Amino acid sequence: MEHHILRLKDVIAMTGLSRSTIYLRMDQGKFPQQINLGSRAVGWISSEIKEWIEERIRESRLGKTLN
């Protein structure tokens, strides 16, 4: 399985969330955790972000809301 790493700007573009909301939801355990790429670089695994988006779509279709 090949993994693709997304940087923050890509995650923001994919999700429509702001930087602060992404980090807040990570702290709450409601968003995929970042991975360290170096001393000052982080990224997210694209498949985890896509899965998170799919779950939001499923919840939306079922009428559930995200806290």
Tokens of 8: 């923050």
Provide the residue ranges of all domains of the chain, joining segments of one domain with +: 5-61
pLDDT tens, position by position, for the chain (67 residues)? 688 999 999 999 999 999 999 999 999 999 999 999 999 999 999 999 999 999 999 988 887 655 5
- How many H helices and E strands in the chain? 3, 3
Q: Which residues lie closer than 8 Å to 58 by C-beta, 6 or more apart?
A: none
Task: Tell me if the domain spanning 5-61 has CATH number 1.10.238.
Answer: yes
Interatomic CA distance for residues 21 and 26, integer angstroms: 8
Determine how many CB atoms are found less than 10 A away from the CB of residue 7.
13
- pLDDT number for residue 1: 67
**Whole-model pTM?**
0.87
